[in-house]
Chain A
Amino acid sequence: MTPIRTPSSGTTTLEPAPAPAVASARPAVEFRSVVKRYGAFTAVHELTFSIEAGTLVTLLGPSGCGKTTTLRMIAGLEQASSGTILIGGENVTARSAAERDVSMVFQSYALFPHMTILDNVAYGLTVGGMAKRAALEAARDKLALVGLAGLEGRLPSELSGGQQQRVAVARAIVLEPRVLLFDEPLSNLDAKMRRQVREDIRQLQQSLKLTVVYVTHDQEEALAVSDRIIVMAGGRIAQDGTPRDLYQRPASRFIADFIGDANIVPALLEGRDGALGRVRVGMATGMAALALPHRDLADGPVDLAVRPNAIRLALSQDPSDGLPGRVQFAAYLGDHMEYEVAVALGGREVMLFARTPDVDAPLSVGDAVSVGFAPRGVTIVPP
């Protein structure tokens, strides 16, 4: 499998990056209070956001959250029930898909099975009125760009999944669209291919300075490729920010749990020193008393999002070491251990999921432990 050849690996001559850089002041895509209803069901509520040219923005969320509907509204495959959609500053709300300057890479790739690879890639150009010869030439260039030179005469059914995926990308970028849309492009690839292809997509986006809107339900994929992530839930934006924002400063319990794993632990905010707040978990002292950014929350009960690898376990009964707990489950996964530890908090038993790199001295089920938290990897989330 040859990787996608990008300008930096430069064996092919490249056309200059497509035009999006025209006016970076104008967002490439803008939604203003866009609503999508199917009968009585509202799939997307009053959605407002904008996407800067030249960036890769991911719409992330669990299935049914409205992310694909949103993408299809950008493409023009669904019509907004109300609100305004702008692409490159132009109002395209009433325009059909064929009249919008966007193209899309489909989950199933949607390669036309009766056309050769070359005809597939040239399709957008020929239906747009370009002369056949010029269209084929441009298509050939783009196929070379994605590393498929030599396969032009094949039919889609004669390519592997990864190759088909690249044909779909070549077919989409040959039109040099203002916005390129990806609908879960990796979901039909096996696990090993996914990492490779997502790196290729990111590289291509950066080298051609493309504006990309990318839909996925896989948070790791989203973290890896995005400049910015818009997390959606129930047809609304749950949080909009950089990957680092989402991971380190989740806006809600939902985000904390959705982006990476997190244990949600009830705690008490007891006062503040500058930007940091004094947080106590349970009645414990020591490792379970933390100083965390208070995020302008009022003193009182709060929730903590605790990443599994921020949990420190020690074989000790001393309350000054942390919260008393008991190991309920232990699993050896080669380079780390996973535990579930039961801890009594606020009158009820909470199950904490912990991950530790120490595989040489593992704990066993039934061990009494004390549980502490490392400040990195713990954040206060609004209750």
Chain B
Amino acid sequence: MKRHLGFWLAAGWAAVLVLPWHIGGVWPVFWPGGPQNGPSAGDGMPALIQGLLLGRPWLLASVLPLLAALAGLRATGGAKGGADGRARSAWLTAAGAGGLGWLLVESLAVTQPGLGLGAAAYAVVCLVLGAHGLALRGWCKGDVFIVASIGLVLGSILVFVGFPVVTILLSAVQDNDGRLTVVGLFDKLTDSGIWGLGCVLGTGSTCGVAWNTLALAGVVGVLTTGTGLAFALIAVRTGFRYKAALRLASILPVITPPFVIGLAIILLFGRAGVVTDLLSTLFDIPRSRWIYGMPGVAMAQILAFTPISFLVLVGVLQGVSPTLEEASQTLRATPWITFRTVTLPLIRPGLANAFLISFIESLADFGNPLVLGGNFDVLSTKIFYAVVGAAHDQGRAAVLAIILLSFTLSAFLAQRRWLGRRSYTTVAGKGDAGLPSPLPPGVRIAASAVAALWTGLTVLVYGTILVGGFMKSLGRDNTLTLIHYQTAFGIETGPNGWWFSGSAWDSLFTTLGVSLVAMPLTAALGLLTAYLLVRQSFLGRGAFEFLTMLSFAIPGTVIGVSYILAFNTPPLELTGTGLILIIAFVFRNMPVGIRAGIATLSQIDKSLDEASLTLGARSFTTLRRVILPLLRPAIVTAMVYSFVRAITSVSAVIFLVTAKYNLATAYIVGRAEVGEYGLAIAYSSALIAIMVVALLAIQLLVGERRLGRRTAALPVSTSASKVNA
């Protein structure tokens, strides 16, 4: 313990003596305000030097907590719980609390440049010192690692999720010059542009954007649930032979950037689209722009979200015990009555769940409305235009973001409160023999028709994406060409050797770099959080869980806006850097890691941890040597998803990209907006290909859990007792 403390104390001194306290010229690439911004050299100096030489004496106070920690370290010897232990605990707790408190007050109260690496390191050191103090006091069974981890996760969520959300709430009550206007807030919140009912009441031509958003989400939710149910019924209740293909189709939305389907739909059904063309020449149906607006957006979203609702409903349908249906049949019910009175009521919570998930996805979707919306505005695009448009009204963006956030949060809370633990279809460990009853013919035909329609459209869409990139201008000029790929990914040789002349390379390299850096961080933070949630009990665990789960429900657009509002000015001045992209990805995708971690951890018998503890391993060693090897599947899942989601993400990062740090998705959306569809879909298909390769590579690299002949050998005792060696 003492050795660890010594290390952290040394790190603390390094933070104030060596590392640049503010954003300075020292830090390359990813660090805010790189060298080219010509920062004043003094800001990059360590806190103590600035305090002594630059007339910033308040920075000298940073040494006090470190001195307190030193005093704690010198409160020698002493068994735990003894008087010395108590003294050390008091010193260290004071050091941690004092350091963090001082940093908070100092950074908010004094006008100064954005905080730099030194301040960040200093915060972490104070956190760990405080954790030592609290652990000595017996918190978390005296386990420093656990106390520090809780502090770290909680602190980072508060800084990078809580702080931006609070900022957005605050900026809604300020006008653009920063003055407080509570009266204005009410006007803004009830603006007729948001809540107007003109289209229904006949007083105007359009409805408020909030109603648009809700209507779209409602329609998409219902239709997506229906389509998903059709596929689930086919997969579970018929002799359908291509179930592997269904599984494959279910990963499509994961690797498809959200606006790509919208792009393909324009190329198919737009005024000059392939299908429109065909209908016009064959049946003389006039060309129109019907696809731009709610019909097109809804179509794109249904195509995109159906696999998600399929996955939810497959699980639910498989959970319906066939014996219940057999019981119904033996009571002389026809298949249709059985379906209506037994099967459907049993899966009702699943249907509600699928609806809410699609509803939330639709609310949060940004790419498709942006590409296909036309004059049909939804909240997410409206927020975007409020920030980047001519109006540049951040206050209005904040108000819209608050409304969107309240929608998604309500739906999310409804889902958790109402459905969280209610399920009639849990699979018991008992033998549950029996055959599910066959689908009534009417239902089977309806399901097949819906599924066929979806499949047809999806094949068309992906075909368009893959083929379209190789055509000059799909629909207008179908000559085969490589020109789009050349423009995007050209490599030329010149006097200085090979160079990447294609216009897409910059954004591709940034995307890959940022995603690769974010990937392990996301997985680590998510899995650590899952570990704390599943395996540790501590005061305030419920609140902690609620906070982490809450970040599931924040739409990307809201994150994007709140990040610009929160991190545009000191003390945390991060906009325009690569770092903010990484942070945005980490905290946006962390829930994926948490979910994967929770699912896997709850299958690992807790007595394994305990066995390791009683054998003298502390929780960190236990985590490293027992839990992590068993968590491999979750690690793979978390890494894959965080990588892929980072690549396909557009809603949050479109606010955060700059000319220097542009991302693939933002670049593609930009091309699509100016009508360069060929280039856009060529780049999109390249991205999809990269993600497929990455999926396979990560799977290979991390590999399988090694548990013996049986892959599902947990819990050990029950399954293995049958192998008599």
Contacts and interface: CB of A to CB of B under 8 A. Distances in A.
Interface stretch (A150-158, A218-226, A230-238, A318-326): A150-158
A70 to B, nearest CB: 15
B708 A156 contact: yes
B611 A157 contact: no
A159 B710 CA distance: 12
A94 B142 contact: yes
A96 B143 contact: yes
A359 interface: no
A113 B611 contact: no
B706 interface: yes
Interface stretch (B2-10, B272-280, B711-719): B711-719
Specify the main secondary structure of chain A where it touches its partner.
loop
Contact of B615 (A93, A107, A109, A127): A127
Contacts of A99: 616
Interface stretch (B422-430, B447-455, B589-597, B617-625): B617-625
B612 A123 contact: yes
Contacts of B241: none
Interface in A335-368: none
B608 A110 contact: yes
A160 interface: yes
B710 A157 contact: yes
B81 A93 contact: yes
A77 B616 contact: no
A124 B611 CA distance: 9
Q: Give the residue among B617, B714, B721 with the most A Cβ atoms within 10 A.
A: B721
Contacts, number: 142
B442 to A, nearest CB: 48
Contacts of B610: 75, 77, 97, 104, 106, 110
Contacts of A111: 611, 716
Interface in A121-172: 123-124, 127-128, 151, 154-161, 163-164, 171-172
Contact of B718 (A100, A103, A156, A188): A188
Nearest to A113: B707
Interface string A186-222: 0011000000000000000000000000000000000
B634 interface: no
Nearest to B615: A124
A156 B142 CA distance: 32
Contacts of B611: 104, 106, 110-112, 171
Contacts of A151: 725
B706 A127 contact: no
Given A108-B716, A159-B723, A94 B81 contact: yes
Contacts of A112: 608, 611-612, 626
Given A110-B610, A114-B705, A128-B616, A160 B142 contact: no
B615 A175 contact: yes
B720 A156 contact: yes
Contacts of B725: 151, 154, 158-160, 163
B541 to A, nearest CB: 13
Interface of A: 75-77, 79, 91, 93-100, 102-104, 106-114, 123-124, 127-128, 151, 154-161, 163-164, 171-172, 175, 181, 188-189
27 contacts: A76-B141, A76-B614, A94-B138, A95-B80, A97-B610, A98-B617, A100-B614, A103-B614, A104-B610, A106-B610, A111-B716, A113-B707, A113-B708, A113-B713, A114-B705, A127-B617, A128-B616, A155-B713, A157-B710, A157-B716, A157-B720, A159-B725, A160-B721, A161-B721, A171-B615, A175-B615, A188-B718
